[in-house]
Amino acid sequence: MTEPAREHRQSTAFDRYVVPEIPVLYRVALSLTGQPADAEDLVQDTLVRAYRAVDRFDGAHPRAWLLTIMRHTHLNRVRGRSAVLLRDGEVAELSDVRLVAPSAEDLVVSDVFEAVVVEALGALPDKHRAVVTLVDVEGLSYQEAADALGVPRGTIMSRLHRARARIRTRLTAAGLAPRKRLM
């Protein structure tokens, strides 16, 4: 096959399988990195790798294929970075994280509630925070989150259950969630 024909086939496949998934890739990248600029870089690196490999892609499950590429790209980037230590008294700040899309109820929710939720989310281990972000914030299915993180679907369900329980416990302790009734 001639080079122009191969490039045309590659470009067509990229447009068909990859381009429609870019918004999902960005949302997942943002949940993995926590920073818009880092998310954009991760998506860009993922798109470059996908473009190079699209002619070998069979066309089945493009989202899972792309999320796998993203996961591997992200892991390679994380391995390449050194740990950042905080000085005594210094606290890492979380970006404005919301557990649900804005609604009429959000307008009523107090700053105290949001502060407790952000604190509870920040206190979660990374593996639990990632699952809550992907499923509850980004709206990915359990299987999509499993593909993005490279773990079984059951692990996603288990981590999500534990993470939600920890958040609920913090809200209850702050008097912001109903306590369970004893029957």
Name which residue leads in pLDDT, 58 or 137.
58
Q: Work out the percent of the chain whose per-residue pLDDT is above 70.
A: 77
Say yes or no to pLDDT of 113 above 60.
Answer: yes
Q: For the structural domain made of 104-173, what CATH number should be given?
A: 1.10.10.10
pLDDT number for residue 91: 55
Q: Where are the domains of the chain?
A: 3-80, 104-173
- Backbone φ and ψ for 97, nearest 5 degrees, come out as -100, 130
pLDDT number for residue 119: 85
CA distances from 156 to 29, 49, 73, 125, 139 (A): 17, 26, 20, 14, 13
pLDDT number for residue 74: 84
Q: How many CB atoms lie within 10 A of CB 67?
A: 26
178: which DSSP letter?
P
Mean pLDDT of the chain: 79
CB 150 within 8 A of CB 68: yes
Name which residue leads in pLDDT, 100 or 24.
24
- The model's pTM is 0.51
pLDDT digits (tens, 9 = 90+) for 156-166: 999 999 999 99
Say yes or no to pLDDT of 116 above 90.
Answer: no
CATH architecture for the domain at 3-80: Orthogonal Bundle (1.10)
pLDDT number for residue 97: 44
Q: How confident is the model at residue 90 (pLDDT cuts 50, 70, 90)?
A: low
Say yes or no to pLDDT of 15 above 50.
Answer: yes
